[in-house]
């Protein structure tokens, strides 16, 4: 079937017609199926073997290697080490060979929102006004762009990620691996409420007890009050295929009328959310700004904390002791500060200005204290996600190597037991790998240039590189 795809900037990998439209043949769902297999390297007699020679190999966790090589066999990394040490069995069975300046794990964005709204930041009202079909179209484009930009994994923390993941996994569309929470859980008058609308309108669409919720029960937000409602809210997200559960445990910036300093949900409600998630081997990620919400989330057993704007040494010690991951989402704050709050309602702009300095101090403090950090942007697929690496270095105080570790090796911790073996260039790990023509250890901003990302492998399949079309097909033999 020939499919018409709106074009991006013309590149050698995606030839563009004079009319600005890419025409390609969409491979069938069998050839594009990217469901993960057990982490077992197949016999070289059966497996497709790819050898990548790298002038510099950044493993994700550990020191870089010069003049290194990586072997992919049956979607799994089979060898990593000096070029001279490649086992002969792989040299005999090689099907493709690449030589690149820099090789590293694929990037993760650990805090995304798969909303696809017309205007996400306008007090959430567009989430109800935008039809899911429109959202899906935008998300499909954003996921394709994200993969082209070197992002092989996304964690969605409120949106249609569960549904988009299914379309990616069955080969309908192309994009990163997606690990989604489904809807974020909020109390009434909480960070997930829509204060610009009557309560009945909001609860009628997002309330967990709505008997006929239509599309919106499988949307971005889920409002629940009391232990039985929050229990059902968790189960509804698990029914969708959620890999992690997201809870709004404090007020926020984008919710017009609540206070970021105040805790949300009772201790009993938070405890049930964590317990119900753990029953299905899921961790809970908590949106928190003020210390009251932070400490409540820690006490309840949340394993990933987002934002954490008003924190101190006590918070960092508890997080280190309990092995809690921190995802700061600094870039979205920097973007709004630079634009003077463009797109925000006045109440949200005032709240963002009030917490911006405290958030930066908290971020810097967490880095100095040795808290485990992963990077996330609080934006949508295909956005300026690589800015987070820049701000981790320039504002947070990380080294470029530390920022890369936070965007790769640490990132799978954000989905707890649901995480695959990925994020590092190590034998037995899934082959989510990218190549660059410039060295990010010398300039962390190179990730912001799509042209610098020359190759992208996801699950061992090459989705960007010489001779590769927009759908990851061989552009020279599109019917294969």
* DSSP 8-state code for residue 90: H
The single residue listed with the structure tokens 């690149």 is: 100
pLDDT in tens, 100-125: 999 999 999 999 999 987 665 566 77
Average the pLDDT over each of 86-90, 214-218, 236-240, 373-377 and give the range with the smallest value. Answer: 214-218
For residues 452 and 449, what is the distance between their CA atoms, to the nearest angstrom?
6
- 178, 151 contact by CB (below 8 A): no
Residue 2: other Cβ atoms inside 10 A? 8
- 427, 434 contact by CB (below 8 A): no
* DSSP 8-state code for residue 396: I
Q: What is the reported pLDDT for 208? A: 86
Percentages (nearest 5) of helix, strand, coil residues in the chain: 35, 25, 45
For the entire predicted model, the pTM comes to: 0.88
Residue of 117, 378, 458, 464 marked catalytic: 378
Q: Is residue 6 scored above 50 in pLDDT?
A: no
Q: What mean pLDDT is reported for the chain? A: 88
Q: For this structure, is 246 an active site residue? A: yes
Q: Is residue 16 scored above 70 in pLDDT?
A: no
b/e burial code for range 333-370 (CB count within 10 A of at least 16 → b) = bbbbeeeebeebbebbbebbbebbebbbebbbbbbebe
CA atoms within 13 A on the CB side of 235: 9
- 318, 365 contact by CB (below 8 A): no
205-214: long-range pairs with CB below 8 Å, 24+? 205/128, 208/232, 208/233, 208/236
Domains annotated for the chain, with CATH where assigned, are 2-105+424-464 (2.30.40.10), 108-418 (3.20.20.140)
Residue of 243, 246, 291, 464 marked catalytic: 246
Q: Is residue 37 scored above 80 in pLDDT?
A: no
pLDDT in tens, 220-262: 999 999 999 999 999 999 999 999 999 999 999 988 999 999 9
Helix (H, G, I), strand (E, B) or coil at 305: strand
Q: What is the reported pLDDT for 39? A: 39
Q: What is the reported pLDDT for 19? A: 30
Nearest of 27, 158, 9, 172 to residue 478 by alpha carbon: 27
Helix (H, G, I), strand (E, B) or coil at 479: coil
CA 345 to chain centre: 26
The single residue listed with the structure tokens 């023509």 is: 437
- 65's enclosing H/E stretch is strand 65-73
Q: What is the reported pLDDT for 212? A: 56
| Terminal-to-terminal C-alpha distance of the chain | 13
pLDDT in tens, 359-418: 999 999 999 999 999 999 999 999 899 999 999 999 999 999 999 999 999 999 999 999
For residues 298 and 143, what is the distance between their CA atoms, to the nearest angstrom?
32
* DSSP 8-state code for residue 176: -
Q: What is the reported pLDDT for 205? A: 81
Q: For this structure, is 378 an active site residue? A: yes
């Amino acid at each position: 079937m020939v499919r018409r795809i709106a074009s991006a900037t013309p590149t050698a990998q995606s030839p563009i017609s004079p009319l600005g439209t890419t025409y390609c043949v969409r491979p069938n769902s069998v050839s594009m199926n990217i469901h993960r297999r057990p982490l077992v390297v197949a016999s070289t007699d059966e497996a497709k073997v790819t050898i990548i020679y790298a002038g510099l190999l950044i493993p994700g966790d550990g020191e870089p290697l010069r003049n290194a090589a990586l072997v992919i066999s049956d979607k799994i990394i089979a060898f990593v080490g000096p070029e001279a040490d490649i086992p002969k069995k792989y040299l005999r069975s090689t099907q493709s060979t690449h030589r690149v300046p820099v090789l590293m794990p694929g990037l993760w964005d650990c805090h995304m929102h798969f909303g696809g709204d017309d205007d996400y930041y306008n007090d959430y009202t567009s989430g109800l006004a935008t039809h899911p079909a429109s959202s899906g179209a935008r998300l499909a484009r954003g996921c394709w762009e994200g993969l082209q930009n070197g992002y092989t994994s996304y964690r969605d923390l409120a949106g249609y990620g569960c549904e988009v993941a299914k379309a990616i996994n069955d080969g309908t569309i192309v994009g990163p691996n997606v690990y989604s929470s489904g809807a974020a859980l909020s109390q009434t008058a909480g960070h997930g409420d829509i204060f610009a609308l009557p309560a009945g309108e909001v609860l009628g669409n997002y309330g967990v007890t709505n008997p006929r919720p239509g599309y919106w029960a499988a949307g971005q937000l889920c409002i629940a009050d009391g232990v039985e409602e929050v229990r059902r809210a968790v189960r509804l997200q698990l029914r969708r295929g959620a890999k992690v559960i997201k809870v709004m445990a404090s007020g926020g910036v984008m919710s017009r009328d609540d206070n970021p300093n105040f805790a949300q949900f009772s201790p009993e409600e938070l405890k049930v959310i964590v317990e119900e998630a753990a029953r299905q081997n899921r961790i809970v990620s908590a949106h928190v700004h003020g210390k009251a919400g932070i400490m409540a989330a820690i006490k309840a057993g949340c394993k990933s904390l987002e934002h954490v704007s008003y924190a101190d040494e006590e918070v960092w010690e508890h997080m280190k002791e309990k092995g809690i991951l921190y995802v700061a989402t600094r870039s979205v704050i920097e973007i709004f500060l630079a634009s003077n709050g463009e797109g925000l309602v006045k109440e949200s702009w005032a709240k963002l200005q009030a917490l911006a300095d405290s958030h930066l101090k908290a971020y810097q403090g967490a880095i100095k204290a040795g808290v485990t950090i992963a990077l996330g942007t609080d934006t949508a697929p295909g956005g300026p996600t690589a800015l987070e690496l820049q701000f981790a270095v320039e504002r947070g105080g990380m080294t470029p190597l530390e920022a890369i570790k936070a965007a790769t090796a640490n990132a799978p911790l954000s989905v707890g037991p649901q995480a695959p073996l990925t994020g590092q260039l190590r034998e037995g790990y899934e082959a989510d790998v990218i190549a660059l023509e410039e060295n990010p250890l010398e300039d962390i901003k190179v990730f912001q240039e799509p042209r610098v990302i020359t190759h992208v492998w996801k699950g061992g399949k090459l989705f960007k590189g010489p001779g590769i079309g927009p759908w990851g097909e061989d552009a020279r033999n599109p019917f294969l």
